[in-house]
Chain A
Amino acid sequence: GDSVTQTEGPVTVSESESLIINCTYSATSIAYPNLFWYVRYPGEGLQLLLKVITAGQKGSSRGFEATYNKETTSFHLQKASVQESDSAVYYCALGDRGSFNKLTFGAGTRLAVCP
């Protein structure tokens, strides 16, 4: 079946350090996968951070970047310099464009940024 595996948390980094949260996917039943990163900040709901719907493309938002790599089936989330306000739980998700955009989520990675 379809699945998403991401870095197991919690991940702790110091402010201004770089960050990478790994995400790999298996899309055995999806012809045209879409890839997403969602984020949940403390006390807030789940919101879209960035998306890429075409293999080979890069998405970016709020200083975060992720590239849809079809060869390695990966969609790693990166940021060059994190801030304390980036502390949150990050979810990688695989979308099925051909089936009403159903999403398959990874387990989530809790990020703590220390000042």
Chain B
Amino acid sequence: EAAVTQSPRNKVAVTGGKVTLSCNQTNNHNNMYWYRQDTGHGLRLIHYSYGAGSTEKGDIPDGYKASRPSQENFSLILELATPSQTSVYFCASGDAGTGGYEQYFGPGTRLTVL
């Protein structure tokens, strides 16, 4: 079964509203990541975490917060959603301890901000 899951899979929000995207992993990986993907761009890193209680800014953190309350869960929070945040969001987990350095991705959440 899928080791990285995301919820919701689709979300429509209103401008100025709060949106929380959730991610759960059963890989027991230390590192988790949030990316967004837009047409013409690859995935771009928003926030990441190296363990429970930690969050770090990625390349495009403005307008987003993150929360890592446990090893398994990593949330992305849009306090005041804007139409420019309409995108597909991917969560991933990874751990250098496996020696592979690769990341394992969830199925994505399609967010539309009206």
Contact = CB atoms under 8 A, between A and B. Distances in A.
Given A45-B106, A46-B90, A100-B31, A51 B101 contact: yes
Determine chain A's interface SS by DSSP, over half rule.
strand
A105 B43 contact: yes
Interface in B54-74: 56, 58-59
A97 B101 CA distance: 7
A108 to B, nearest CB: 6
Interface residues of A, number: 23
Contacts of A38: 105
Interface of B: 31, 33, 35, 40-45, 48, 50, 56, 58-59, 90, 94, 96, 100-108
Interface of A: 4, 34, 36, 38, 45-48, 51, 53, 91, 93, 95, 97, 100-108
